[in-house]
Structure 1
Amino acid sequence: MLNRLIGLCMAVALLAPAPAATAQEGDPQDFVRQSLYVPVRDGTRLAVNIYRPATAGEAADEPLPVIFVSTPYRARYRNADGEIVETGLSERLALSSLLRAGYVIAVADIRGKGASFGTRRGFQDRTEAQDSYDLVEWLARQPFSTGSVGMIGCSYLGGTTFQTATTAPPSLKAVFIGASELDKYEFVRRGGITAQFNTRPDEPAEVDLASIPVDADADGTLLRQAVAEHAGNTPMGPLWYGMPNRDSVSEYTGNAFWEEVAVYRYLDAIREAGIATYFWGNWHDEPTGQVILGAANLGGKFLAGPGDHCVPPPGFDFAGEVTRYFDHHLKGVANGIDREPRATYWVEGLDGEGRYVQSDELPGVQSRPVPWFLSDTADATGSSLAAAPGAAGRDDFTVDYDLPPAEYFAFWPRPMVEHGLGYTSAPLDASMTLIGSPVAHLTVTASDPDANLFVYLDQINAEGEAEVIAFGRLKLTHRKLSQAPYETLGLPWHSGLSEDMQTLAPSEEAPVSIALTPVSRVVPAGARLRFTVAGADPRQRNLQDTRIDPAPQITVLRGGRDASRIELPLAR
């Protein structure tokens, strides 16, 4: 039962990358490993695993640059099948390739997780960031190190990488950041609504107890002592649920915690330190919009593949790209990567199936917004999503909370047209290339001021099969538009500040603007587009706790002066 519980917890671990490599995948003649506790500035001992390139079991004599990874998912542990799993040997982050390419790999458990001591005050707080600063500088001082350190990570590991960069360690030269956010409030509570990310239950102590003790802790005494301290960790879901506004003060941390963990507040520190940045996301993954904004604000390189969360982009030499990037910035290799186009990204459906393109511009920067209007179905085509506004009208629906359950860890929504209002175009006469974020501009009324809006853009093929290609959400009280403290590439931004909350009278007609997740695809001729408006999404983990009784009635005004529409990012 215990092994089954541990396996389940790891399967649903929030924002975790795919499983790391098992020890059997690494040839012990190719590297030597050591693990030890390293104290950080407040004396907390963090577990660090170090992998050094070796020949015939002997570590390389010459100093080498170091690639550092900081994880909450256990650097080294025994899985339910009894195998030792090692993050440092994983190829999902190209770590095994980097090891073979002449880098020392170091992986640390963050405080309060894995084999490390301490308690986690908050999710990626300044304490975690300062811990990684201390470890970066410790690694740079070791005899096996040249003094140059790089970091790589995706999801939470991308977040620890990004947060470490904000502390500007002198020895940190380059970072490769995957699926992580510039603005944590905008990501976790996008539009004021918590959805899939960051709200799952915390793992029981047995998960961390499956960690492999450090070398000097043969009987696991120190491991058990460390895990006992984890009982004081701040629970992640309640932390996020308890801060509805950007300036909310957390009962757990005693401060406006969203601001503490907002990377955008520390951008100048990253720039002034001269840390090179590379941002990576995938189109079938909600964080990618934030990844684009990271690159927009820091000028770094950008990569997007067609896959899901933290999946190495198929059909692309990911390990080769990562290695070339660090070779240039940590070893000084003149391999030309700095002269190549800054953005490489997949365009679904391009040339029939899809392919990668390169550009000096980030995706969407050169696109132009083309409005498609919500209308009735009175025209000859029967379409209700059209290039011109129709007659004025109103469409009503009652929010449906009795939704089919989503997968526990559903990163992407399913079509929701049966649970709200749907507006469908006629079949396209010609293909349409969409690059960037669609933006919905609606005029609505609601019977309850706390009602939520969820919007979806679907592509429907000639056989009638539909897939969601972009989506967004907004709590109506958060609808006021504000000026963002960072570059948003022209997308609407809602501050989430308490002073900007707006109530909604039952008959009040309110304009709302919602940026959807970015798309990169060619919609072929003959396909149709569908825009859906709903009031709930099954991916909300706390949906039944937050449902409103009676369920709100929402009205969407269309046509005439209230021409509700979705602006599609048409590539030039």
Structure 2
Amino acid sequence: MAVHNKDLQTSDYAAAVPPQPAWSPLWTGTIEGGDTDFFVSRGYARIVANPRGVGKSEDGGSRAWDCYDIIEWIARQSWCDGNVGMTGISGFGAEQLAVARQQPPHLKAIFPFDPRGAYGELGGFRDEYPGGVIHTFRYILSLLSVMHETRGRPGDLSPEAEKLWQAAIDNPDYKMYPNVYNVLTMKGQIYPQFFNFLINPFDSEEAVKKSEAEFKKVMVPTYTGSGWYGYTYKTHLNGAQHWFREINAPKKLLFTGPAHLERPFHSYHGEILRWHDYWLKGIDTGIMDEPPVKFWMMGANKWRYADDWPLPETRWTKFYLHSWERLRTAPFAPSSIEDYEEPDAFLQMPPTHTRKIERLRYMTGPLPEDILVAGPGALYLYASLDQPDTNWIVILKDVGPDESVRTARPGELDTPADLKERELTRGWLKASNRAVDPRRSRPWEPWHPLTREAAKPVVPGEINEYAIDILATANLFKKGHRICLDITCLDLAEGISGATGVEYIPYHICSSKTTVHKIYHNEKYPSFLLLPVIPDIEYQPKKRKVKSPLKV
């Protein structure tokens, strides 16, 4: 089901624009339906359709039920044996899961890769904006269509929405970004989805409960996943994990490498074919004999299987933040000199005054052996501010190789400044959204309500704990490398008018106030990074023999 212009998904267009890597200037995310020629040449009929209200279809109707009707119409055609599957990524993936909840009887399997968020309608607030930190992905999708465009007098909002809009239009953080402010002035005429998140940047308990109930409705075999590029989108990487965890149906999970998929989308079609051959044609492709989780290990640059996600054998390891930029596994000694350590601090001016991004950095020493980190993580940070709010942005990196030591000798006073570093993943939390729901939280996944009711401004000078969810990754830190954690509160657009070089790497709306951040680390305030360390790097789960389904 096409949520974008279906003309871009055709074989004719693919012939004109061969697959482009993510760094190509012709790469565009909307060409994500898949390779029609590939599937047709292997015994499938392929239909690309727009539900009403999408593309060139007329308005009205229900997207989910329109998709239901199309599937059942396909099943009645003479060229169809009654077994229907679905493919496609991103918006196409979200549509698959939306229609799966309606349970059309002839839908036999889906492959929603990069499926958008699991909580909310077709990807909601929680998975797209971790920690409640607003970013500009939805603006970038409509790049250059909002900054220079007006559409006459905006319509009237409801009294409730008008009140929210007035607070948003007066928000100095929004006013700092002309492109964001212009979206607000148009009152939803331009990119209404982004507008709605701007005036109401919160989740709701009702939306979460509704999603939790609807997970049970997905009963069709589901193969989902994302890639390690997905932490920039956030919605896809979060959504794939949450769908895999929550649905009760035959399921598999795939995490690919850090480079985004080429467009037109044609990647992993062999895996898609194996999945649909198994469930639609009853061919024993062996795909269900394999363990349910497959992921790419960065650093090692090879595939690995797992029995579940997070991996059952995970050794959750705490790396404590110390002074002098150190990151160590040894806990703080009680009643010791470490109790007197002063907090680390950084001061960040807003982008109205500087392009310089300040940070604190913490690193292990050169690792004595290879360490595999695979799964989600978290940072438990004790900190104070001198303002009512900030955005915590934390970045996990692989730094090295580095065999240097630090001594008092000349040339050995500091860590070498020219070390190679590779960014792996990030985490975000708006300080006012620091409240945690212990019922839904896991140590590696602190659950923040992110509701308007739970939001609480920071009391300047007060020390609070901030539990920051770090999006999943899988990386082999090799011997001699360092595990590195950067803590900051700002990122920036790469161009004018809020433009950025790559649509899936957005920037975040930061504080308009100069803010001092202090990080505490001692026995009373033991700030630590929690990482999923896998003890046996070479372990691979055994395959199991599963009986192939009978062809209907």
Give TM-score, length-normalised by structure 2.
0.71
1:488 CA displacement: 6.5
RMSD of aligned alpha carbons: 3.7
Query: 1:459 aligns to what SS in structure 2?
Result: strand
Gap change, CA 1:484 and 1:244, over 3 Å in 2: farther
CA contact (8 A) 1:154 1:310 kept: no
What amino acid maps onto 2:42 in structure 1?
Answer: A
1:470 lines up with 2:419 in the alignment: no
| 1:174 aligned residue (109, 118, 143) | 109
The alpha carbon displacement at 1:293 in A equals: 2.3
Distance (whole Å) between structure 2 residues aligned to residue 421 and residue 112 of structure 1: 47
| 2:298 paired residue number | 348
| Structure with greater strand percent | 1
Matches within 5 A, 1:87-106: 93-106=34-47
Q: SS state of the match for residue 131, structure 2?
A: helix
* Paired letter, 2:427: G
- The SS at the match of 1:167 is coil
**SS at 1:338 equivalent:** coil
- What's the CA shift for 1:236? 2.7
Specify the alignment match of 2:456 in structure 1: 502
Please tell me whether residue 150 in structure 1 is matched to residue 85 in structure 2: yes
Cα distance per residue 1:377-414 (max 9 Å; x no partner): 2xxxxx511222562330121224339999xxxxxxxx
Q: Give, as a single letter, the amino acid of the residue that structure 1 aligns with 2:451.
A: L
2:478 to 518, 524, 528: 524
Determine the structure 2 residue equivalent to 1:71.
3
Measured after TM superposition, the shift of residue 166 of structure 1 is 1.8
Question: Does the Cα contact within 8 Å between 1:76 and 1:86 map onto a contact in 2?
Answer: no
- C-alpha distance in structure 2 between counterparts of 1:556 and 1:334, whole Å: 56
Kindly provide the amino acid, as one letter, of the partner of residue 303 in structure 1. Answer: L
Q: How many Å separate the matches in 2 of 1:172 and 1:489?
A: 37
* Partner in structure 1 of residue 201 of structure 2: 244
Higher deviation after alignment, 277-286 or 133-142: 133-142
1:519 is paired with a residue whose SS is strand
Q: Map of 1:305-320 to 2, 5 A cutoff?
A: 305-311=256-262, 318-320=268-270
- What aligned pairs does 1:91-240 form with structure 2 within 5 A after superposition? 93-118=34-59, 127-180=62-115, 181-183=117-119, 184-200=124-140, 202=142, 235-240=192-197
Equivalences, count? 438
Tell me if structure 2 keeps the 8 A contact 1:454–1:534.
yes
Please give the residue correspondences for 1:371-390 in structure 2 after superposition, counting only pairs within 5 Å. 371-377=318-324, 384-389=326-331
1:570 matched residue in structure 2: 533
What are the equivalent positions in structure 2 for 1:25-64 lying under 5 Å apart? none
- Cα distance in 2 between the residues matched to 1:372 and 1:396: 19
C-alpha change, 1:469 and 1:544, in structure 2 (3 Å) is closer
| 1:570 Cα offset (Å) | 0.4
CA 1:156–1:77: 2 relative to 1, 3 Å: closer
Corresponding residue SS for 1:237: helix
Q: Is the 8 A contact 2:297 2:474 kept in 1?
A: yes
Q: Secondary structure at the match of 2:259?
A: coil
Matching residue of 1:61? none
Please tell me whether residue 327 in structure 1 is matched to residue 300 in structure 2.
no
SS in 1 for 2:49: strand
**Is the partner of 2:47 in helix, strand or coil?**
strand
Percent identity over paired residues: 22
1:266 and 2:217 correspond: no
Distance 1:428 1:403 in 2: 40
Tell whether the 8 Å contact from 1:453 to 1:475 is kept in structure 2 after alignment.
yes
Distance 1:363 1:403 in 2: 41
SS of equivalent to 1:294: helix
Structure 1 position 564, deviation (Å): 0.8
Q: Tell me if the contact between 2:133 and 2:509 (Cα under 8 Å) persists in the aligned partners.
A: no
Matched residue of 1:522: which SS?
strand
Label 1:239 to 1:83 Cα distance change in 2 as closer, same or farther (>3 A): farther
Q: List per-residue Cα deviations over 1:159-202 (Å, max 9, x = no partner).
A: 11122212222221111011122122222221011225333353
Shift of 1:489: 8.5
Contact 1:437 1:569 in 2 (8 A): yes
Match of 2:225 among 270, 274, 280: 280
Q: Distance in 2 between matches of 1:489 and 1:426?
A: 25
SS of the residue corresponding to residue 68 of structure 2 reads helix
**One-letter amino acid of the structure 1 residue matched with residue 380 of structure 2:** H
Judge conservation of contact 2:349–2:513 (CA < 8 Å) in 1. no
Given that 1:470 and 1:518 are in contact with CA atoms closer than 8 Å, whether structure 2 keeps it comes out as yes
Q: Residue 95 of structure 1: CA displacement?
A: 3.8
- Tell whether the 8 Å contact from 1:72 to 1:110 is kept in structure 2 after alignment: no
Q: CA shift at 1:368, angstroms?
A: 1.7
Q: Counterpart in 2 of 1:60?
A: none
176 and 443 in structure 1: CA distance in 2 versus 1, 3 angstrom threshold = same
* C-alpha separation in 1, matches of 2:269 and 2:90: 17
CA separation of 1:161 and 1:77: change in aligned 2, threshold 3 A:
closer
Superposed displacement of residue 233, structure 1: 8.3
Q: Which region of structure 1 is more displaced relative to structure 2, 95-104 or 466-475?
A: 95-104
Take 1:78 and 1:176, find their aligned partners in 2: how far apart are those partners?
19
What code does the residue aligned with 1:99 have? V
Query: 1:290 deviation in Å?
Result: 2.7
- Relative distance call for 1:480 and 1:534 in structure 2 (3 A) is same
Question: Whole-Å Cα distance in 1 between the matches of residues 135 and 72 of structure 2?
Answer: 37
Alpha-carbon deviations, 1:188-226, whole Å to 9, x = none?
A: 221011225333353799xxxxxxxxxxxxxxxxxxxxx
Q: Do the aligned residues in 2 keep the contact of 1:367 with 1:571 (CA within 8 Å)?
A: yes
Aligned residue number for residue 317 of structure 2: 370
Q: Tell me, in whole angstroms, the C-alpha distance in 1 between the residues paired with 2:256 and 2:15.
A: 31
Displacement of 1:78? 9.9
Q: Does 1:456 align with 2:411?
A: no
User: Would the aligned equivalents of 1:373 and 1:559 in 2 still touch at CA under 8 Å?
Assistant: no
1:445 paired with 2:377, answer no
Residues 285-315 of structure 1, C-alpha deviation per residue, up to 9 Å, x if partnerless?
A: 2232331222122251011111333459x9x
Cα distance change, pair 401–109 in 1 and its aligned pair in 2 (3 A): farther
Tell me how far apart the structure 1 counterparts of residues 106 and 267 of structure 2 sit (CA, whole Å).
28
Alpha-carbon offset, residue 362 of structure 1: 2.5
Indicate which of 327, 336, 357 corresponds to 2:304. 357
What is the distance in 2 between the residues matched to 1:92 and 1:433?
A: 34
Q: Distance in 2 between matches of 1:419 and 1:333?
A: 56
Structure-2 residue corresponding to 1:339? 289
Given that 1:182 and 1:264 are in contact with CA atoms closer than 8 Å, whether structure 2 keeps it comes out as no
Write the letter of the residue equivalent to 2:130.
R
Q: CA deviation at 1:484?
A: 6.4
Distance in 1 of aligned mates of 2:433 and 2:299 = 36
CA distance 1:387–1:97, change in 2 (3 Å):
same
Partner in structure 2 of residue 482 of structure 1: 437
**Deviations 1:1-46 (CA, angstroms, capped at 9, x unpaired):** xxxxxxxxxxxxxxxxxxxxxxxxxxxxxxxxxxxxxxxxxxxxxx
Query: 1:385 is aligned with what amino acid?
Result: L
Q: Following TM superposition, by how much is the alpha carbon of 1:360 offset from its aligned partner in structure 2, in angstroms? A: 2.2
Give CA deviations for 1:420-470 in whole Å, capped at 9, x if unaligned. Answer: 111122111111110111210001111222211111111112260112112
- Please give the alpha-carbon distance, in whole angstroms, between the structure 2 residues aligned to 1:508 and 1:109: 53
Conserved 8 A contact 2:90-2:114: yes
Distance verdict in 2 for CA 1:484–1:153, change over 3 Å = farther
Q: Distance in 2 between matches of 1:537 and 1:200?
A: 15
User: Residue 549 of structure 2 aligns with which residue?
Assistant: none
Q: Distance in 2 between matches of 1:267 and 1:242?
A: 28
State how far apart, in whole Å, the 1-side matches of 2:277 and 2:472 are: 31
Contact 1:400 1:420 (C-alpha < 8 Å) held by counterparts: no
The residue that corresponds to 1:398 in the other structure is: 347
